[in-house]
Structure 1
Amino acid sequence: MHRFKSVLTTANRRVLHSATEAGGPLASRLTSRSVIRFAGPDTLKFLQGLLSNDVQRLGKPPGELTSSLATPNSPAATSSPMYAAFLNPQGRFLYDLFLYSKPQAEEKLDRTGSGPGSDPGDGAVELFADVDASVLDELLQTFKKYRLRSKVEIENLSEDFNCWQRFGRNLVGKSRAVEEPEAASVGWGAGVDRAAMSASHANDGGWQWFRDPRLECLGFRGIFPSNTVPPLVEADKEADEENYLMWRIDNGVAEGSTEIPKGEAIPLEYNLEGINAISFDKGCYVGQEFIARTHHRGVIRKRLVPLTFLDDNGKEVEQKVAPGSDVIDAASGKKIGAVTTALGCQGLGLLRLEEAFKDSSSLTIQGLEDVKVQARRPSWWPVEWLPEHRQHSAVA
């Protein structure tokens, strides 16, 4: 069952569309996510052997460019967050994580604000992770099971921090140098976000927005102390998390162990390589052999795609389709996939691409033949994923 019990009505979707198109971006506190912390000298090595992305990158000095919002008190350069997956030995998806590294001492100012800070500690790596709250206890137990003798502390910080997402069409397509016009005056300024001022002066209280490491179209993501509202979040632009879910559905992106079925989902079918969750250049990690074999075979016949549910007149149908419903090709009567997530008249489905996107396809929901299914190709998809590209390549 999907973690959200209610659905967006047509009126609510109009509000979402209006706010993200003209009235400025929305921000949602993600109650479906929790924050955990990894710390200790073996942190990077430990996670590198478990996760699908190249975690060692988080231990390197940041480059000149930063993916954070360009606010007055942020460090000159910060390490971008990383999206990664934890798989089982058979290469099936278990959990997803957004990993954040804290700014290093040399990236901050000293107490006077006149020079780089110094590190009074032992230099041990500290990473924060934004994880699926619905499997938090199980996730912590799994990580601790793999820890063995590694010098890594794993701590639940769900009471201390919240995860937030900031999204909207007017956040997309801006250069890193420009980011947002209001950032220059609102940002981390004193009197607006005092906690962030402390971060630039080598304290632990400040946090910032980062461009979503998966796709630019998803906006900005960050973790913030639970007793504060992040900078740039206006009171009339704070929205329920379902609005963010609808935004992800519209862009064809699943998140968490419910939308990406735990222990079942094949990561490449859920487009994890396209949303920067997988490194094919790093060494071994749990499930790596299956991922590498599937990737080098080169043909993924099923993928996660955004869906719209319509009646015979082409009008959107609300609240009739549930996750798990089979999608049928009406012409052949064959099942071509299933709905994985549903909200209002939209959803995500794992479908066979050849049947989903052929010109003559007429898709319906099994048992609801009066509900038509329209599958869409997200704009961010690489051309290599499209069936016609594979056919053209084969002919050539």
Structure 2
Amino acid sequence: MIVHLRADRALFRFSGPDAHKLVNDVVTGHVPHQDEESAAAWALLSPQGKILAEGLSIWREDALWLDTHMSVADDFFKRMRMYRLRAKAEIEDLRESHRVGFSAKAVPGAARNRLGPVELGHHVIAPLSDTTDWSSDERPYNAARIEAGILHQGNDFPANDTFAHDIGLDILEGIDFVKGCYVGQEVVSRMKHRGTARRRPVLVTGIDAPSGSPILAGGREAGTTGQVLDGKAVAIVRLDRVTDPADVTIAEKPVSLALPSWATYQFGETVAEE
């Protein structure tokens, strides 16, 4: 089984009697318990509801292991230590000692990467010494997630710029609407119950332009592309501005738009104002 290194991921370990409560009270998603094998999506939000960090969490070796993009790792570590207060929990920065990987097929110790209706291979964590035979080619993972319509911070959007609904976390089970309060929960709940999510993930193909290029629909900017790989990307797009998916261009060249297979939204949708 080939494991592909995800070199842009930073890994943190939360242990101790209050570790689960600490993480559960701060992030958006369901936090795994010790009898759960699958990885779970999460996001750390600002009080205004913008994503500061996001990634996957798994339970292994009596601890929670969370990964996030390297670009926000220092801020994530700082904030989680602040939220810890007097909790009986230890937070270890494993950037120097461990690595995160992806495997299309199951490997020993890996967690199934299931984001709601999306199956995205297996999530692997290992000590640095056990990764010498891992492939350094990240293309298979990014090709798989782009094909599935999955957006990642750092690759596709910056920190403190995007709402959880914008990347579909409400559909991909990255938001637990049943548990109690967490940072930014009021904004997430309001967007759900008022139906005010107007920006959503969209698949874009036929791109001949760099990542971050504006998408024009009917001559109006509707969004920007995320990471471009083989002419494909996932973009966060204003649905109300795409009334004709055939009339969309990037860098003055026509491109094709399509909705992810898991989408519960449609082009041309208008939503209530905040």
Q: Structures share a fold, TM > 0.5?
A: yes
For residue 91 of structure 1, report the CA deviation from its aligned partner: 0.6
Q: Which one of 96, 101, 112 corresponds to residue 211 of structure 1?
A: 112
Q: Distance in 2 between matches of 1:326 and 1:363?
A: 11
Q: Which one of 358, 362, 365 corresponds to residue 247 of structure 2?
A: 362
Judge conservation of contact 2:201–2:260 (CA < 8 Å) in 1: no
Q: Name whichever of 248-257 and 261-270 sits farther off.
A: 248-257
Q: Distance in 2 between matches of 1:334 and 1:387?
A: 15
Q: Normalising to structure 2: TM-score of the pair?
A: 0.87
Query: What residue in structure 2 maps to residue 142 of structure 1?
Result: 79
Q: Distance in 2 between matches of 1:217 and 1:347?
A: 18
Q: Distance in 2 between matches of 1:155 and 1:300?
A: 35
Q: Deviations over 1:327-378 (max 9, x none)?
A: 112xx4222222233234122211122443636x31112xx21x21211222
SS for the counterpart of 1:249 is helix
SS for the counterpart of 1:150 is coil
Q: Which one of 89, 98, 101 corresponds to residue 164 of structure 1?
A: 101
Judge conservation of contact 1:165–1:244 (CA < 8 Å) in 2: yes
Judge conservation of contact 1:308–1:374 (CA < 8 Å) in 2: yes
Query: What residue in structure 1 maps to residue 15 of structure 2?
Result: 39
Q: Which amino acid aligns with 2:256?
A: Q
For residue 225 of structure 1, report the CA deviation from its aligned partner: 2.0
Q: Distance in 2 between matches of 1:357 and 1:345?
A: 23
Q: Which one of 338, 342, 366 corresponds to residue 224 of structure 2?
A: 338
Which of the two has higher C-alpha Rg? 1
SS for the counterpart of 2:119 is helix
Q: Distance in 1 between matches of 2:152 and 2:215?
A: 21
For residue 240 of structure 1, report the CA deviation from its aligned partner: 0.7
Q: Which has the higher strand share?
A: 2
Equivalences for 1:278-289 in 2 at 5 Å? Answer: 278-289=175-186
> What percent of counterpart residues are identical?
28
Q: Distance in 1 between matches of 2:85 and 2:155?
A: 28
Query: What residue in structure 2 maps to residue 327 of structure 1?
Result: 215
Query: What residue in structure 1 maps to residue 33 of structure 2?
Result: 58
Judge conservation of contact 1:94–1:257 (CA < 8 Å) in 2: no
For residue 213 of structure 1, report the CA deviation from its aligned partner: 2.9
SS for the counterpart of 1:44 is helix
SS for the counterpart of 1:256 is coil
Query: What residue in structure 2 maps to residue 385 of structure 1?
Result: 265
SS for the counterpart of 1:269 is helix
Q: Which one of 162, 165, 170 corresponds to residue 268 of structure 1?
A: 165
Q: Distance in 2 between matches of 1:290 and 1:92?
A: 9
Q: Distance in 2 between matches of 1:293 and 1:272?
A: 15
Q: Which amino acid aligns with 2:71?
A: S
Q: Deviations over 1:230-252 (max 9, x none)?
A: 9xx8x8xx461133212211211
RMSD: 2.5
4+ residue runs of structure 1 moved beyond 3 angstroms? Answer: 354-359
Judge conservation of contact 1:306–1:349 (CA < 8 Å) in 2: yes
Gaps in structure 2 of 5+ consecutive residues: none
Q: How many residues align?
A: 269
Q: Normalising to structure 1: TM-score of the pair?
A: 0.62
Q: Distance in 2 between matches of 1:130 and 1:94?
A: 13
Q: Which one of 123, 129, 136 corresponds to residue 221 of structure 1?
A: 123
Equivalences for 1:178-189 in 2 at 5 Å? Answer: none
Q: Deviations over 1:304-334 (max 9, x none)?
A: 2121125xxxxxx4xxx123322112xx422
Q: Which has the higher helix share?
A: 1
Q: Distance in 1 between matches of 2:87 and 2:41?
A: 23
SS for the counterpart of 2:170 is coil
For residue 52 of structure 1, report the CA deviation from its aligned partner: 0.3
Q: Distance in 2 between matches of 1:300 and 1:26?
A: 38
Gaps in structure 1 of 5+ consecutive residues: 1-24, 63-77, 104-124, 172-179, 181-186, 189-207, 311-316, 392-396
Q: Distance in 2 between matches of 1:138 and 1:166?
A: 28
Query: What residue in structure 2 maps to residue 101 of structure 1?
Result: 59
SS for the counterpart of 1:81 is strand
Judge conservation of contact 2:198–2:239 (CA < 8 Å) in 1: yes
Query: What residue in structure 2 maps to residue 297 of structure 1?
Result: 194
Query: What residue in structure 1 maps to residue 149 of structure 2?
Result: 252
For residue 387 of structure 1, report the CA deviation from its aligned partner: 4.4
Q: Deviations over 1:244-297 (max 9, x none)?
A: 212211211112345232111011011112222101111000000000000111
Q: Which amino acid aligns with 2:76?
A: L
Cα distance change, pair 36–217 in 1 and its aligned pair in 2 (3 A): same
Q: Distance in 2 between matches of 1:98 and 1:46?
A: 16
SS for the counterpart of 1:134 is helix
